[in-house]
Amino acid sequence: MHILLSSAGGDQSRWLTELGNSLPQAQVRIWQAGDSAPADYALVWKPPVEALRGRAGLKAVFNLGAGVDPLLAMLRQYPDLLPPAVPLIKLDDAGMAQQMVQYVSYAVLRHFRRFDDYARQQQAGRWQTLPRRRMEDCRVGILGLGALGAQVAASLVQQGFPVSGWSRSAKQLPGVASYAGTAELGSFLSSLQVLVNMLPLTADTENILNLEVFNQMNRGAAVINVARGAHLVESDLLAALESGQLAGATLDVFREEPLPTEHPFWSEPRIEITPHISALTVRMDSIAQIVEKIQSLERGEAVSGVIDRARGY
């Protein structure tokens, strides 16, 4: 069995060693320019086109990051790159869920407990107790109830927040008010004090965080984006903050990364910025999952995480 590894960024040598230890019957190699040797499986994150071109014998391609949109964008640009019969497989969790729960919980609590306001008071040297907010008045909405979104929603319910969820198709989660489809988006937004975006990036969801959406939320609400930068219309966020419709935003993802030093987000005190760290891939968890799925595929068994190319996730 031959496994090809091509991952932009990160320490590929660690992946190479640990994959070899976990799957000793396989020959694992890092893709190098000019490599056209056969491979049964490819493990990729933002690979160059040449890493996948001409791989007629591929049985599956594993996407090593949480977002599949870079890989799908490559296949749209080069539609003959991989035959439709070759499954594209994403990681189900790989240690990211707990990190995402922690990140979103922090951002929600920061808004709810007014820690952002107190931080600004500290900078101004002002000692003032602000009015207490009631948890029952702070409804949190989760855009996207996939594997990560569902776990974030469950955690917020456990903490005592009222939680709503919106997805393409209806989901039933304990304690979560479920909305689905374009027709129910307005109803989902109308009572929100915090909006958390965890949607996959598709043609339908690009630019979904816009002024029309912000204006349907409660005045003084907050936005948390941990999905993709292209979900957010940046000028609309700045306008909503300037008008007071939004009180703040926590952003972990951006259209251009790293965020350029001259970008207006840096100088907006109501925006909290982190450098795409809300949920980092845990290498050993990922390898264990990939090994299990390769073994299942070798036995002719179905596996979870197969990407629907038409739907985009």
- Residues 29, 40 share a domain: yes
Is 276 known to be catalytic? yes
Residue 245 within a domain: yes
**Confidence class of residue 95 from pLDDT cuts 50, 70 and 90?**
confident
Catalytic residue (choose from 110, 114, 228, 231): 228
Structure tokens at 67: 């977002």
Cis peptide before 258 (omega within 30 of 0): yes
- Residues 132, 52 share a domain: no
d(C-alpha 46, C-alpha 277), whole Å: 17
d(C-alpha 16, C-alpha 204), whole Å: 37
- Residues 23, 161 share a domain: no
Total number of domains constituting the chain: 2
Q: 167 and 144 in contact (C-beta within 8 Å)?
A: yes
d(C-alpha 203, C-alpha 11), whole Å: 32
Q: 60 and 39 in contact (C-beta within 8 Å)?
A: no
Find tokens 């958390």 and name the residue.
196
CATH number, domain with residue 16: 3.40.50.720
| Partners of residue 43 on adjacent β-strands | 5, 62
Residue 90 has pLDDT above 90, yes or no: yes
For the segment 266-282, what is each residue's pLDDT rounded down to a tens digit? 999 999 999 999 998 88
Kindly report the pTM of this predicted structure.
0.90
Is 228 known to be catalytic? yes
- Residues 184, 128 share a domain: yes
d(C-alpha 151, C-alpha 158), whole Å: 11
Per the structure, the complete domain to which residue 32 belongs is given by 2-94+281-298
Catalytic residue (choose from 2, 29, 263, 276): 276
For the segment 21-78, what is each residue's pLDDT rounded down to a tens digit? 999 999 999 999 999 999 999 999 999 999 999 998 999 999 998 788 999 999 999 9
pLDDT at position 177 is 98
